[in-house]
Amino acid sequence: MWDMRQLRMMNLWGWWPKMIKDPKKRKIMRVYGYCSFGLDSITMIAEIISLYLAVVNGSFRGAIINIVTTTLGTMAAQKIYTMLVHHEFISHICDTLEDLDNRAIELMGEECQVTMKDRERRCLLTFVFVGSCMFTVCHYNVRPIIVYFLYGERTIAMDMWTPWDEQTSETGWIVVLIYEWIHIFAAMYGMTVFDSLFLSIFEMILAEFDVLKIALRKINFAAEKKEVTLEFCIKFHQDLLLLVARINEFLIPIQTIQCVMFTFTICFSGFELLSLSDGSLNKMANLVEVVGAATYITFGYCYQCHCITEECEEVVRAACDNNWYEGSVEDQKKLLIILERAKNPISFGNIIKFDLGCFIAIFKTAFSYYQVLQAFDI
């Protein structure tokens, strides 16, 4: 099973103190985590003021970058807050997956581990996503220093309101720059690690479905002593569906807000990118990074949710892909329990259904908003 190393990474900012065994140190780390979250969230006030001033004093076009950064900052704050408040449930998810994995390995051994290894490699690819997003953070944070040394111009990493003019106050510029570095790194770190964690959890759920299908196909109804029992499969399937249902309920508000905000992020970023008039290479790079990250995260969630829904249906085929017709009437009745459960596959979401259709709809909606912006020549 994947070791969920993203949780250990979260503790860099104190957002996963459960890994610390000493109760006193755990409390100190939790206070540190809330302080880090508060420091990151306070910056949102300056971003909102900057966005308001950009709209009032300028034009909507000039505020697009502010809208995009504020949107991403809001999403990051929501996910970090979720990690802090719902740490017990996230621990429950990991413990349940580990329990399912141990039960499967105990019964099927190496055959189960081979399936898990394939899914773990995919988790590793998802984990690499965190590193690629940290490159974006470096680009945002290092740019003002490079501009200052090359051209002597004081710039800041992102547009935000400050009580002083960074062009006239060198000390103020340094303070704002350091504060922005902390905010950008914390926000991007928290958001990408959170998404990487749950995409890995989805991969492990898919791995458990793979194991369940293997177990169902291995049942020999004609044998007196079965290597894999039907009771094991029924209990395993029940626990797995219960876990998926609870994760779905937990993620509904997060994914709903994420879909809406990423729609606007893709729309505004795409509009600014395609209508960029000043030819700023830096601004173009920032927008490409934002659109790329938003697309990856949105596609990852939609694709994984779509796969889990399909796997719920695939259980029916696996349950019938054995010699069930040679079993007793009692065994066939037990098999019906799995078949009936699989007839109503879990679909992620509520108002918005999270699947590949949702991913396509997001881009269609974003393109529609883009056409509106273009028509009004904002």
Cα–Cα nearest to 62, from 361, 334, 378, 335? 378
Angle, helix 230-274 to helix 356-376, in steps of 10 degrees: 10
**Phi-psi domain of 162 (left: phi exceeds 0; alpha: psi -120 through 50; beta: other):** beta
Adjacent-strand bridge partners of 353 = 349
Q: Is the pLDDT assigned to residue 378 strictly greater than 60?
A: no
User: What is residue 341's predicted lDDT score, i.e. its pLDDT?
Assistant: 84
pLDDT 10s digits, 252-310: 988 888 888 888 887 777 777 776 655 566 667 777 777 777 788 888 899 999 999 99
Q: Running DSSP on this structure, what letter comes out for residue 156? A: -
Structure tokens at 128: 């690499």
Q: Residue 313 is which amino acid?
A: E
C-alpha to C-alpha distances, 245 to 93, 290, 350, nearest whole angstrom: 11, 31, 12
- 189 compared with 160, residue with greater pLDDT: 189
User: What is residue 63's predicted lDDT score, i.e. its pLDDT?
Assistant: 65
pTM of the model: 0.88
Please tell me whether residue 134 adopts helix, strand or coil conformation: helix
User: What is residue 278's predicted lDDT score, i.e. its pLDDT?
Assistant: 55
Please tell me whether residue 349 adopts helix, strand or coil conformation: strand
- 70 compared with 10, residue with greater pLDDT: 10
